[in-house]
């Protein structure tokens, strides 16, 4: 969204079921989320420099 709308300074709250966390380089984590039961998947990149994602697990809301 930031690439499409760089002037938009917004925070987003996203709710859904966590399908998968894919570890990347230098703290990068790719999060795949799905709406309840069926629906589109959202892919988000999160840089976890302080290990905040350790408490998350696949299938959690």
Give the pLDDT confidence of 1-55 residue by residue, as tens digits. 667 777 777 777 777 888 888 888 887 888 888 887 777 778 777 777 677 767 6
Which structural domain range is residue 34 located in? 1-61
What was the pLDDT predicted at 26?
80
Residue matched to tokens 């988000």: 44
- For 50, half-sphere exposure in the C-beta direction (CA atoms, 13 angstrom radius) is 1
Task: Give the total number of structural domains in the chain.
Answer: 1
Asked if 33 contacts 18 with a C-beta cutoff of 8 angstroms, the reply is yes
Q: Which long-range contacts (CB under 8 A, 24 or more apart) does 29-32 make?
A: 29/53
- Judge residue 18's burial from the number of C-beta atoms within 10 Å of its C-beta, 0-12 exposed, 13-18 middle, 19 or more buried: middle
Asked if the model's pLDDT at residue 60 lies above 60, the reply is no
What was the pLDDT predicted at 12?
74
């Amino acid at each position: 969204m930031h690439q499409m709308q760089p002037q938009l300074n917004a925070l987003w709250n996203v709710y859904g079921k966590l399908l998968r966390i894919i570890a990347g380089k230098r703290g990068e984590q790719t999060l795949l989320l799905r709406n309840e039961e069926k629906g589109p998947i959202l892919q988000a990149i999160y840089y976890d420099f302080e290990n905040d994602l350790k408490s998350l697990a696949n299938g959690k809301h």
